[in-house]
Every structure is written in structure tokens, then in C-alpha cells.
Amino acid sequence: MANQIQSFFETSTMALCKEETIPMTLDMLTSKKVETNNPQARCLLSTLASAMCSQHASDVEKLQQELKNVQRDMKDFKQEVTRVICKIEGTLSYMMEVVTRLETRSNHVEQRLREEEDRGIVRNKVLTFLLPREKELREKCADLERRLWRKNV
């Protein structure tokens, strides 16, 4: 598109400077149709047209340079994001391993706690059974000792 516009202005410029008769042209500054039978006016329009073409060419060049800069920045940003994502994935993987190990340890601790609670319940039952039995045996021993003392006395 820019090449087509530039070639149009170059052809128009050459035609105007050779004093060919071009009845009407578009004035780039005022956007109105003006008569160009005057060779000086045609050369002025030609100069304006070529100046505008060179300005457009430099604008296009600047835009292309800015586009390259933006593309380079996007590429750098993409690489940085990819690097950060890989780092996050590595950290997440490590954390998942740690969580798995902690869950395993937690399960073992809970299992041991349940086993200890079960043993505690059994101990309580045994103590509940043995304490009255011990009391009975103490009383019997005390009674037997008293009887023994009576016979010996």
C-alpha cells in the first residue's frame, strides 16, 4: 500500500514538472480540488507530494522499528513468563511431594494414636477389673494376718 502511494506521487510529480496538462489534482493540505494549469503551482504540489511521501516513508519506517521493538519485547516477555512458569511448576512439584510425605506421616501418627487409644481403653478395663479384686485380696490378707496373730498370742 505504501509503495503504491509512493509510486503514485512519483508519477504525479514527474508529470507535473514536465509541464503536462493535468486539469485537476487534490491539494493535500486543504483537501480541496484546485486548478493546476500553472507550472509553478504544479511544481509546488509536486514538492509537497514528494515531501509527504518521504514523511510517510519515514513514518512507516518508524512504525516498523517500533513494531520490531514491540515484537522483541513480547519475545523477551514470553521467555520470562515461560521461565517463571517452569520455576513455579518445579516449586509446585516439590511442594506436592512434601505434602504427600506429610500426609503419609500424618496417617501413621493417626494410626498410632488410634492404637494407643485402644490400648488405653483396654488398660482402663483391666484396671476397673483389677482394682476391686486387689481391694478384696488386701482385705483377705489383713483378715488372715489378724487370725494368725490371734493364734500366736
Phi, psi of 29, rounded to the nearest 5 degrees: -85, -40
Name the pTM for this structure.
0.44
Domain boundaries, the chain: 2-108
Q: Identify the pLDDT of residue 19.
A: 43
Q: Identify the pLDDT of residue 4.
A: 55
25 Cβ contact partners less than 8 Å away, ≥ 6 residues apart: 12, 16, 33, 34, 36, 45
> Hey, what amino acid is at 143?
D
Name the β-bridge partners of 4. none
Positions of the chain with pLDDT lower than 50, given as ranges: 13-34
What one-character-per-residue DSSP string does 22-76 give? Answer: --EEE-TTT--EEE--SHHHHHHHHHHHHHHHHHHHHHHHHHHHHHHHHHHHHHH
Q: Identify the pLDDT of residue 20.
A: 42
Q: Identify the pLDDT of residue 6.
A: 54
Q: Identify the pLDDT of residue 57.
A: 76
Residue 36 C-alpha cell reads as 493546476
Diameter over CA atoms, the chain: 163
Whats the size of the chain, residue-wise? 153
Residue 18 C-alpha cell reads as 514536465
Tell me, what DSSP letter sits at residue 88?
Answer: H
